[in-house]
Amino acid sequence: MEGYQIRLINAHEGGRNVAYNCDKADSEAKIIRIAFLSDRSREDILGEVEYIRYLYEHGGSVSNVVNSQKGNLLETITLNNHTFFVCLFEKAKGGMLVENNYQYREGVPITEYYYNCGKVLGKMHQLSKGYTPVHSRYDFFDKYNADYIDKLIPDSLSLLKEKLVDLLTTLEGMDRNHESFGMVHFDYCDGNYMIDFNTGQITVFDFDNSCFCWYMYDLANLWTLGVGWIQFEQDTDKRKQFMDDYFKTVLDGYRSETRIEDSMLDTLPLFIQVTLMENIVDAFEVMRNNGEDPECDEELSYRIKCLEDDIPYVGFFHEIYSCDEPFEYEERDI
């Protein structure tokens, strides 16, 4: 990296890596990522970067991982008995939606963006259907299981624990065939891809949470992201109509690259609940890793309420939802 200007990237809450922007005149920008926590093994990270390289080499729109001078995708450095895992990535071209004030390409309908979101995801899923890992990533149930839920979630939230275990039991009975289950991004959102605002091209990065799961999870997560475009609309029917149109456009893009059975699409409400579970688990993990006492703010309380009361579609069409305070509910003690 000689000659590169290397600048620390400000971490987001709950982030598990240290990352640096690397810029140099007349050279492609790069990102250095250093994993320093003990929550991932060398095999885990190799499974991630090998999957990224596979997607890139087969036409997936992802930020490629760069070989080290030794020809490795991953380098391990040990200092003072602490192990660091270091990777280098091509920096995705373009910018984030938030950096562009959530404005899409000038003169182009926003539906192109929805379509492209689905198309890029569909391409990744289609490639996953032919992927045979060398170093395998973990399976959904390796992390999300009754024992882990019981240890992580406070006993005072007994109803939540019960609902999460019920949800996991339902998932355990689902088919995991080649067309429905494989490697997924597991955090496909506008914070984890760049958009070239000249062409509309989306380039995906941050496969830190990638795992073997149902492809439907990524689609359900994409559904939940769509609510942000219409969350302040007072009329419930208009919110429903928008979400129907939005997700249809996403699916048109998705199906331009891969096939999905209608029977799997019928499980959308179930997998939206699974995204809520992931959000809740992540919130408690962040509190635990930061050494904080568990507490439920308005956003976490809202998610818990939706699961405890079996409220579908993140409550977006339910009386619990408030346009003035989207996805918030009264704080609760633990």
The answer to the question of residue 330 being in a domain is no
The answer to the question of residue 166 being in a domain is yes
List, for residues 176-234, the tens digit of each pLDDT value: 999 999 999 999 999 999 999 999 999 999 999 999 999 999 999 999 999 999 999 99
Give me the pLDDT at residue 290, please: 83
Give me the pLDDT at residue 240, please: 98
Domain extent at residue 268:
98-315
The answer to the question of residue 328 being in a domain is no
- Does residue 85 sit in the same domain as residue 102? no
Q: Is the CB of residue 186 less than 8 Å from the CB of residue 217?
A: yes
Q: Is the CB of residue 243 less than 8 Å from the CB of residue 142?
A: no
Q: Which of 28, 56, 90 corresponds to the end of one domain? A: 90
Give me the pLDDT at residue 282, please: 94
- Does residue 111 sit in the same domain as residue 249? yes
The answer to the question of residue 118 being in a domain is yes
- Does residue 84 sit in the same domain as residue 118? no
Burial annotation 19-38 (CB, 10 A radius, 16+ → b, else e): bbebeeeeeeebbbbebeee
The answer to the question of residue 239 being in a domain is yes
Nearest to 87 by CA among 79, 75, 99: 75
For 34, 220, 230, 231, 290, the CA distances from 8, given in Å and listed in that order, are 11, 33, 34, 34, 21
Task: Report the half-sphere exposure of 106 (CA within 13 A, side-chain side).
Answer: 2
- Does residue 116 sit in the same domain as residue 73? no
- Does residue 184 sit in the same domain as residue 83? no
Q: Which of 49, 72, 90 corresponds to the end of one domain? A: 90
The answer to the question of residue 331 being in a domain is no
Question: For 33-187, where are the alpha helices, taking DSSP H only?
Answer: 42-57, 110-128, 140-143, 146-152, 158-172
Give me the pLDDT at residue 312, please: 98
- Does residue 81 sit in the same domain as residue 138? no
* Backbone phi and psi for residue 274, each to the nearest 5 degrees, phi listed first: -65, -35
The answer to the question of residue 113 being in a domain is yes
Rounded to whole angstroms, the Cα distance separating 307 from 27 reads 49
Give me the pLDDT at residue 303, please: 97
The DSSP-derived string for 150-219 is HHHS-GGGHHHHHHHHHHHHHHHTS---TTTEEEE-S--STTSEEE-TTT--EEE---TT-EEEEHHHHH
- What residue type is 228 in one-letter code? G
Nearest to 206 by CA among 184, 234, 187: 187
Angle between helices 268-289 and 215-226 (to 10 degrees): 80
Burial annotation 293-312 (CB, 10 A radius, 16+ → b, else e): eeebeebbbbbbbbbeeebe
Q: Is the CB of residue 63 less than 8 Å from the CB of residue 87?
A: no
The answer to the question of residue 322 being in a domain is no
Give me the pLDDT at residue 1, please: 87
Structural domains counted in the chain: 2
- Does residue 261 sit in the same domain as residue 305? yes
- Does residue 19 sit in the same domain as residue 168? no
Q: Could you tell me how many residues make up the chain?
A: 334
pTM over 0.85, yes/no: yes
- Does residue 75 sit in the same domain as residue 187? no
CB within 8 Å of 28: residues ≥ 6 apart: 90, 91
CATH code of the domain covering residue 84: 3.30.200.20
Per-residue pLDDT 10s for the chain (334 aa) are: 899 999 999 987 777 899 999 999 999 999 999 999 888 899 999 999 999 999 999 999 999 999 999 999 999 999 999 999 999 999 999 999 999 999 999 999 999 999 999 999 999 999 999 999 999 999 999 999 999 999 999 999 999 999 999 999 999 999 999 999 999 999 999 999 999 999 999 999 999 999 999 999 999 999 999 999 999 999 999 999 999 999 999 999 999 999 999 999 999 999 999 999 999 999 999 899 888 989 999 999 999 999 999 999 999 999 999 999 999 999 888 8
CATH code of the domain covering residue 299: 3.90.1200.10
Q: Is the CB of residue 122 less than 8 Å from the CB of residue 258?
A: yes
- Does residue 266 sit in the same domain as residue 287? yes
- Does residue 200 sit in the same domain as residue 266? yes
Give me the pLDDT at residue 314, please: 98
For 115, 184, 238, the CA distances from 266, given in Å and listed in that order, are 20, 19, 22
* Backbone phi and psi for residue 223, each to the nearest 5 degrees, phi listed first: -60, -50
- Does residue 282 sit in the same domain as residue 151? yes
